[in-house]
Each structure stands twice: as C-alpha cells, then as structure tokens.
Structure 1
C-alpha cells in the first residue's frame, strides 16, 4: 500500500465541544428516530387492518369450524394485501423515505416482505376455499370451480398467479438467470396483480361494506400506494427531465470498458444533488431507451453540467458508452444517503474499489474536510482499474488528508478485501485507519468485496451507524 498524499497533523480537540460533530450526532439520532417511526408505521398499518375487521364484528362471525377457517382466511388476506401495498409504497422512491434510510434499505425491506405477503395470500385462498366448502357441504375441488366462475374471483386468481411469478423471479438464485429487462418486466406485474384483486376485495362477502371505516381505510391505502408510484416514479421524473433538458455533451474513454459521460442541461444545480448520490438514467436512443440505469454522479453537478462514469458490466451499460452527443437523457432522482449529510463521527474513512470510485469521488468533492480529517484507500487489482484516482488527490477537500492506493490480487482461498502484498506486511483495517472507531466508514465497490470490508470493520468494533454502504444491485 503506497502513500500518495501525506496527512497534516490534526489538532487535539474535545469532540464533544466541536459544534460540527455535535450537529452530526444530533442529525444521526433524528434519522434513527425517523427510521424507527417509518417501520412502526408499516406494522401499524397491519394492526389497523386487523383492528378494523375486529371492530366491525369479525369475531362474532365465528360460530363453528367452518366459520373459524373462513375468518382466518379473511384475516390472512387482509394482512397479506396490506403488506403488498406497503411494499409498493417502499418501491415508490418517495423522497422522505430516501432521505431517512436510503432507497437500497427501503428496497431490502420491500424484498423481505415479499415471501410473507405471498404466503399470507396463499393461506387466504386455501382457508377461504376450505371454509366455504365446509359451509356448503361440498368438496374443495367443487368449491374452487364454483368460486372461479365469478368474475371478481377470476380476477383474484389472476392476481395470485401474477404475484407468485413476481415473488419467484425475485428470489436471488432465480433472478440471476434473468436479464434486468426481463426481470423488471415481470416485476411490473405486481401492480397488475394488486389491481386485479381490488374488485374481489371490495365486494366479496361484504367484508368492506359501503360506508364502513374499513372500506375508507383500504381505499385510502390503495390511493397512497398507487398514487405514490404514479407521482414519484412517473410524474416527477417526467417533469424534472423536461425542465432540465439533459443531453449528452461528450463521451470520454477513461479506461478499457469505462467511459465518462459529460452532460449538459438547464439549472442542474436545482437538482440539489449531494456528492455520493446516484440517479436512474435513461438514454433515448434506439438501443438504450428501454433500459434505465442506476449510475452515480462522478462529479457534483453545476448549473449547466454534470458527469457520470460507467463501466461496461453488460450489454445495457456497454450501449451507454456508444451514445452520441446530443442524445436526450431522462433522470429519476437524485437518490441515496451515501453522502456527508449522514456522517455522525468526527473523522472520515473511505475505501473504494473499481467503479465504486464514482460516488466516492463526488462525495469527497462535496465534503468540507479539515486537514487530517479523512483517510482514503483506493483499491484495484491492477493499474488498469485506477479509474479517476488522479482526481482524488487533486480535490480541494483532500488538501492535508491522506490518500493511499492498494494494488494487487487477493490471496487465493482467503476471504479478504486486501491484496496479498498488504496482508504479507501485516496491514489490517485498524492499521490502515488508526482512528477507525472515531470515523464514519464509507465503502463502495463490488458487493462481495464490500461485505468483507464491513465484516472487518464490525469485528474491529465499529458500530453500524458509522458504516455507510449503498447497494445498486437489482
């Protein structure tokens, strides 16, 4: 590991008296409380769905085994549908959610709810069918055929089938067999699946009768979920793209398979992008218009210009490198909490590998750092992966701060983020960052590699609130 810039001495000061550090800790506590509140609201919506059913005499309908199974089917259906609508809200890219927890964290919670929601909906169908069959004195098969003949139930079965397809294709082992475009198309079916079940939910058995608080609650929840999707996934990006009129100004080859796209537009500073954030980009050419890409800003936008840097990781990203100047560009965002606004500690530790340098570069550009406050490690297998490294030490914010490079392959058979040469010299995460426990650690690079960095940081005693890692994998 070699030093590129020597750090200046850091004055010994009481951190608890530093107003900047105190403000960071206060902001951090507020965000944690807001995140806890959001989680509480998600589960409160489930409790509300069940409570309203109970308030309108749900338990009074249970008189025998058949009615008990029917009631259990109703409850599982209500809870499952509520979770699906919560999932849609989490996927809507609502700015308030993104500012507090980040879109990657929101989507991780979204994915965790997928299987429980599906199991509840399946249980809903099974329990209701058995309960109805027992009440009618028929078989389960005959009851299923009878239910399928109703138009509302036919739509409900269609919605269930679509939901199964969405959840199955979201399983990691299955998802890796799909291209992003195919997976995304299937995933859009979740909207159709939920909408297909609306007539059934509002009409079946009078559970949500006209004029009841239950009906008002569910209609409001549907409006919130689909309204959020419509506004923040479609309307706002369309207006923002038209307002800023972003176009490709030039394409520069940075390294084999890596290009920087220089963009121009109107009032791009009004996007209020913070260093480290990313956006969802769509390039309007015949070969790229159908694919939206999450790409970090590699430089903080000015009023008229912006820059993103892209590595060829597949046919979609490779096509971006071939777009021509003048190509119109649509934008969703900016998104992400991988910014200095989420710092809570007095010092800054940064590790970037490969194309992970792009959000790190804009993060450091946007940060107001004191001499001796930051230590940066730039990691690459060979010199060909030193994308934008020459720009890091030249940043004004990095004056008096340390930048190290670590080149070389990892030792075979050993789970480590460091090079074999660094390990042979006894380098550890705490020797690389002597003030690690008093630092915010920002990590960006390939997922499996970044997980190893986080593993070592946690083993050294760094708390999770000081670890910043944002994932863009789908």
Structure 2
C-alpha cells in the first residue's frame, strides 16, 4: 500500500515582523501626537528658546520611555522582531535621547539666562541650587552622556561585555532622576489631571515592561522549571553539547532556532551569562545547547558537572518558522552556526536544502546528526568545504546548488563575515528580503 503525503500548507501571508513593527510605530506616533496636544494645552512661554527647550525635553522623556520598552525583552516583540533588531533600535533611540536632552538643556538654559541677564553657566548653577529637580536632571544628563560615550562602536569594542553592561545599568538611575525632574518642574506634567495621568501611565508602562520582561518572567520560569545540567558531551576538541533538564519543560514556550542566556550556577561562573542557541528542537523533556570555545568562559563548559543548577533567561529570538513565507526552505550554516540550523531542520515541514560551510571536514560539528536528520526528512544536505577564498557560496555556486533558490525561504546563521558574503550573494540572485531570515547575537543592556 502506498501512502501519498500531501504537501504542507503554505505559510500565512501576514508577516509577524511587519505587524509588530507597524504596531510599535503606530504607538509611538500616537504618543507623539498626545504629547503635542498636552503641550499646546499647557500654553506657551513668552521666550521662544524656553518653548523649544520644553518641547525637546518632553520628546526626550517620551524616547526614554520608548527605549525602555525596546530593551524590556517582552516575548511578543522579541519573537516577531528579534533581539538583534530591537537592540539596534535601542541603540539609535539612545542617541536620539542624547541629542534631544542636550537640546533641552541648551535651549532652557539660554532661555532663562536671556530673561535674567546672566550667563548660561551661572544660570545652570542658580537653577540647580534654587529649583527643585534641576540638580537631579543635571546628574541624569551626565549619566546619559557617559552611557552614550561607552556605547559608541570604538569604545564598545574596547570594553568587556560585563563592564559595558554594568555601566549601562546606570541608565535606569538616569531614568528615575529624569522622571522625578519632570514631576517636580514639568509644566506640561502638571498642566491638567489628564496630562499628569498620561505621563504616569507612560512611565508606568515603560518601567513595568522592564520589570516584567527582565525580572518577573525569568524568575518565574526558573522557579517553575528548575533547570539542571543532565549531560555534557564533547563534540570535538573545542565544541561541547550540554543537555538541560527540568520540570514541566513542555510548558516552556521555546522554539527551534531560538536561544537562551545561560548562567551556570557554579562558584566561578554564576555571574556570567552567555547566549547559546538550542541545537535541537525542544521536545518537552530537555533542552540542548552546543557551544564552541571562544573564550575562558565557553571553554570551561566542558568541565561542568551533571546536576549543576542553571539560570536561563529566554527563550529569545525571531529566527524561527513563525516567519516563513514559502513552503520550501534553504538552510545555510557556517561553522558552529549550524546549531540553530540543525534545530530548525528538525522543526521544518516541506522540502529543505541544507548547505553547511566549513573550512574542513573535521570542523563540521553535529554533521552526523544533520546527515541522519536530512535523510529522515528527505532533505538535501551539501557539505561545502575549503578556505574562505574563493567564496564557495558566491551567487553562481548558490544558483548551481539550489536552482530554485528564489522560491524558498532562506535561513542563515554563521560567522559575521560569512553571513555578510551570503547576504550579498542572495541580493545578487534577487531573493526577496522577506524570504531571508537571519539573526545576529546582540545583547541589549
């Protein structure tokens, strides 16, 4: 008897990333309009410099609240947009805050100095000494300048992630100081009960989002699931797989392609969190990560003992089947970037082609698993070996290996240079952007 398997249903035409992005833009635009309404309702100062200063201060406050939402790691946004893109938006919003608050400080200072006939420095000192909340605003602005300076690419490359993150945490101090400044002297804040309620609501939602996404959800999930190391398996001389078990893992909303921030609670590692992708699709009984030794922290993973407690934050990431637009797929992995690709292959329906790019056969970790999985699912697997030059995934080579590449979703994960080269090749081949799915591991502070 022959069973004919029907092809998988085509993915939905509604793109979750577009829905989430449009929703964010719409909410921000609505709040821009509301702030303008309340500002106009409060009346205008006679000095144009003060008017401009107040407007820039209000929009600086709104951007600060918006930035907190971006960095809150809310599951609905993270699954649809991805932490890497949210982090990028967070970074550029931070520079917007810096410039709007700088404009606020300059215009307010010169505006009041113009009315009193003193210099701007003397006016700042006088306001800080005599007006409630101004000194707190000066401190908050100083913190924002420092955080902005260490967030510049040149400075960021010179700092360890833990150092950068510790400095970045002072942003929350600046937010609290800025809010108390707004409460104390903000004329728009106190112009009406509706304006006061609105601003309390904005700050409540922003700060509540951070507490929910960064504190409550991780604590609740770790208390519920009680993660522990159940197996440590060396895959090669510098790659290790770690299996994590726990309670009620079938209720953990993790998907193939996602990652967690793993914190192994040993005496020398409890303070260090590392982002590692799942290297197998979640099965409701265990989670598996596979990591390459890239530093002292990841190199020490092979020495973890079975039974070690784990604090896991996540799951995070939009590199999942949620964003499929086609019934067939192309999976491209480079090096240890095979980990989420291997998990995705396990989860994908429809015909798939897998390209695994490595320097040599011995670098192809998890290859046996990938080969067996491809055989079981009827997928094509190509191991592409050789040095980076010449490019083995150039447009001509990709078109030869996958002639129908334009009719497939493309999932890409690997080292940044390799990913950039493949993205250029896909662009040259005319693959639509909405069919290309990738994620760069970036952590928002």
TM-score (norm 1): 0.88
Are residues 1:20 and 2:20 paired? no
Match of 2:151 in 1: 170
Are residues 1:91 and 2:60 paired? no
Q: 1:268-283 alignment to 2 at 5 Å?
A: 268-283=249-264
Are residues 1:113 and 2:93 paired? yes
Report the secondary structure of 1:287's partner residue: coil
5+ unaligned residues in a row in structure 1: which ranges? 1-9
Taking structure 1 as reference, are residues 132 and 321 closer, same or farther at Cα in structure 2, changes over 3 Å only? farther
Aligned pair count?
439
How far did residue 213 of structure 1 move?
Answer: 2.1
CA distance in 2 between counterparts of 1:458 and 1:44 reads 35
How far did residue 404 of structure 1 move?
Answer: 0.1
How far did residue 396 of structure 1 move?
Answer: 6.4
Query: What does the per-residue CA deviation read over 1:341-372, in whole Å, with 9 as the maximum and x for residues that have no partner?
Result: 21101220111011111111111111223xxx
Match of 1:450 in 2: 419
Report the secondary structure of 2:381's partner residue: strand
Name which of 201, 208, 216 aligns with 2:197.
216
How far did residue 141 of structure 1 move?
Answer: 1.5
TM-score (norm 2): 0.93
CA distance in 1 between counterparts of 2:244 and 2:220 reads 18
CA distance in 1 between counterparts of 2:8 and 2:96 reads 45
How far did residue 218 of structure 1 move?
Answer: 1.3
Report the secondary structure of 1:378's partner residue: strand
Query: What does the per-residue CA deviation read over 1:53-82, in whole Å, with 9 as the maximum and x for residues that have no partner?
Result: 112223xx2x3xxx1100100111111121
Match of 1:267 in 2: 248
5+ unaligned residues in a row in structure 2: which ranges? none
How far did residue 19 of structure 1 move?
Answer: 7.1
Does the 8 Å contact 1:175/1:183 carry over to 2? yes
CA distance in 1 between counterparts of 2:270 and 2:63 reads 32
Report the secondary structure of 1:298's partner residue: coil
CA distance in 2 between counterparts of 1:41 and 1:433 reads 41
Name which of 313, 334, 344 aligns with 1:332.
313
Are residues 1:51 and 2:29 paired? no
Q: 1:93-242 alignment to 2 at 5 Å?
A: 93-149=73-129, 150=131, 152-204=133-185, 206-209=187-190, 211-242=192-223
CA distance in 1 between counterparts of 2:404 and 2:179 reads 55
Query: What does the per-residue CA deviation read over 1:420-454, in whole Å, with 9 as the maximum and x for residues that have no partner?
Result: xx77xx94222222111101010001122211111
Report the secondary structure of 1:281's partner residue: strand
CA distance in 1 between counterparts of 2:376 and 2:102 reads 56
Q: 1:399-414 alignment to 2 at 5 Å?
A: 399-411=377-389
CA distance in 2 between counterparts of 1:83 and 1:214 reads 17
Match of 2:55 in 1: 75
